[in-house]
Amino acid sequence: MEELKRRYGDQVEFLAIYVREAHPIDGWRMNSNDRAGISLKQPRTEVERTGVAQCCCKALKMSMPMVVDEMDDRVGHAYSGMPDRLYLIDRKGRIAYKSGRGPFGFKPGELEQALIMLMLDQQFSPSKISERLPMLTNEQAWKRLPGAPATVQPLPAWARLLAGPMPLTTARMLELDALHRSGNRLEARLRGLVRWAAADANCCDYAKAVALADLRRVGLTAEEVQTLIHDPKRLSPAERVAMAFARKMMREAYAVTDAEMKQLLEFFGEEQVVALVALLAHASFQDRLFLAAKVQVEPEGPLPPLQVRFTRPPAKAPDGVHSPLAKTASTKPTSGRDEWIALRQSVEQQKLRPGRIRVPSKEEVRKRLGDAHPGLWQVDIHWSRVCYGYQPELTQAWFDCVAAFRQEAELDRIFEQELFWIVTRSLHCFY
């Protein structure tokens, strides 16, 4: 429950109510309690009951407030709370969720699902959509986007936040978002479950809500979604592996093993595995943006993917902006920098390891892209060959986002590379 409070405490009021002891030493005594050092008599006065409640708070390191039931147990009786039970009460005082009696019915995962669905159902005031960045109206945001259609659709909150300072980047991000949430690169149910698992690992409520809504749009009921998310036994073996992979990629991507990748390839094949990794890279990027901006679900949301193709500037050859990827770094270590030497050694060791996925040849990539494709200049880069060779549309959409951001952000190159170093170091990425 403390984890739920950490995730949702800024939007939901959490409250614990201490009722009478279920297993006192002068009542239904439990050997398991004795082994855990929990030996309490049933409190007979308010002072005694309050004292036990204070001991409970201290032992469990509870951050949520706790109140104490009256000695006539009026709250315990009214809510049938013995020995313990979970309730979710909406803003109008109605019970939105009631768990089974504990311990077997005490399931925080079910409460979280009910809480998310309740927050989706309740309307948010437009003035409270964002607390950290100014937000344009839907009409204002569309006017900023390049080549807006005559009939505009509702924009997600994050696009209305970004359209003001970075309209080109926002347009490219909307296109990339739609590609990842539609099409047949991954089966719709699988991509929804994987996206939810990634958002859950990142503690990103907005992305979790969007993933849940996408699952509902492909025909799953709320009950089916809840069962799949919280009961792994109901998932197919391939779905279980993919969701576990999603969580690991968000938390410790550097620890993914050869065996785990081999299993994914056996289930999905090369093209779908690259699509899966691309989806998770996109999820990592999106969730951090959503969390930093404190994006909340739109009053009419979560919205479906926006199927719009925006105006694009003429394609041009790279001018050296991509040099960290396109050029080969010097293999000569800088004298006196032990850290740089260690890094170079790690890179050389990594080069000796066999790859986990076949790298398409230059000729294969060129054939798939065509002679006029803007990504042809990257065919000498192995990871670009993998991305373009198996998922060219997703790959180009990502590079379009990067190019638009560099154009609009105008970051200082030294500052940009310092940030790049911090990020790759924290990810344990030798590349």
CA separation for the pair 77, 20 (Å, rounded)? 10
CA separation for the pair 396, 401 (Å, rounded)? 9
Shared domain for 151 and 272, answered yes or no, is: yes
User: Domain for residue 300, yes or no?
Assistant: no
pLDDT (0 to 100) of residue 132: 64
Shared domain for 96 and 140, answered yes or no, is: no
Shared domain for 140 and 261, answered yes or no, is: yes
pLDDT (0 to 100) of residue 311: 82
Shared domain for 106 and 208, answered yes or no, is: no
CA separation for the pair 311, 328 (Å, rounded)? 34
Shared domain for 178 and 273, answered yes or no, is: yes
pLDDT (0 to 100) of residue 368: 95
Q: How many domains does the chain have?
A: 3
- Answer whether 39's CB lies under 8 Å from 24's CB: no
Shared domain for 143 and 107, answered yes or no, is: no
Please give the single-letter amino acid code of residue 152: V
How does DSSP classify residue 298? Answer: -
User: Domain for residue 303, yes or no?
Assistant: no
User: Domain for residue 405, yes or no?
Assistant: no
In tens, the pLDDT along 199-238 reads: 999 999 999 999 999 999 999 988 888 888 888 889 999 9
pLDDT (0 to 100) of residue 416: 85
**Among candidate residues 271, 236, 246, 159, the one with its CA nearest the CA of residue 196:** 246
Shared domain for 113 and 156, answered yes or no, is: no
Domain of 42, in residue numbers? 2-121
> pLDDT tens digits, the chain, 431 residues: what are they?
888 888 888 888 999 999 988 788 888 888 877 777 788 888 999 889 998 888 888 888 888 899 998 998 898 888 887 888 999 998 888 898 999 888 888 888 889 888 888 887 665 444 444 446 788 999 999 999 998 777 789 999 999 999 999 999 999 999 999 999 999 999 999 999 999 999 999 999 999 999 999 999 999 988 888 888 888 889 999 999 999 999 999 999 999 999 999 999 999 999 999 999 999 999 999 999 999 999 989 988 899 999 888 887 655 544 444 433 333 344 444 444 677 777 778 778 777 878 899 999 999 999 999 999 999 999 999 999 999 999 999 999 999 999 999 899 888 888 888 888 888 888 888 76
pLDDT (0 to 100) of residue 231: 87
pLDDT (0 to 100) of residue 309: 86
pLDDT (0 to 100) of residue 360: 95
How does DSSP classify residue 375? Answer: T
Shared domain for 213 and 74, answered yes or no, is: no
CA separation for the pair 21, 40 (Å, rounded)? 8
Q: What are the two backbone dihedrals, phi and then psi, of residue 53, each rounded to the nearest 5 degrees?
A: -60, -40
pLDDT (0 to 100) of residue 281: 96
pLDDT (0 to 100) of residue 289: 93
- Answer whether 375's CB lies under 8 Å from 394's CB: no
CA separation for the pair 132, 161 (Å, rounded)? 10
Shared domain for 203 and 335, answered yes or no, is: no
- Last residue in a domain, options 77, 93, 121: 121
- Last residue in a domain, options 239, 271, 293: 293
In tens, the pLDDT along 309-333 reads: 888 765 554 444 443 333 334 444 4
Kindly report each contact of residues 421-428 with a partner whose C-beta sits within 8 Å and lies 24 or more positions away, as own/partner. Answer: 427/253, 427/254, 428/254
User: Domain for residue 235, yes or no?
Assistant: yes
CA separation for the pair 12, 172 (Å, rounded)? 34
Q: What DSSP line would sit under 242-275, residue for residue?
A: HHHHHHHHHHHGGG--HHHHHHHHHHHHHHHHHH
* Helices (H), ranges, 146-201: 157-162, 167-181, 188-201
- Last residue in a domain, options 293, 312, 345: 293
Shared domain for 141 and 90, answered yes or no, is: no
C-alpha distances out from residue 43 to 31, 39, 60, 85, 102, Å? 20, 12, 19, 20, 21
The owner of tokens 């409520």 is 205
CATH number at residue 170: 1.20.1290.10
Burial category of 354 from C-beta neighbours within 10 Å (exposed 0-12, middle 13-18, buried 19 and up): exposed
Give yes or no for a cis peptide into 83 (omega within 30° of 0).
yes
User: Domain for residue 269, yes or no?
Assistant: yes
User: Domain for residue 399, yes or no?
Assistant: no
> Which residues are registered as beta bridge partners of 95?
89
CA separation for the pair 110, 97 (Å, rounded)? 9
pLDDT (0 to 100) of residue 314: 58
User: Domain for residue 395, yes or no?
Assistant: no
Shared domain for 265 and 223, answered yes or no, is: yes
CA separation for the pair 233, 184 (Å, rounded)? 25
CA separation for the pair 83, 30 (Å, rounded)? 13
User: Domain for residue 365, yes or no?
Assistant: yes
Shared domain for 43 and 65, answered yes or no, is: yes
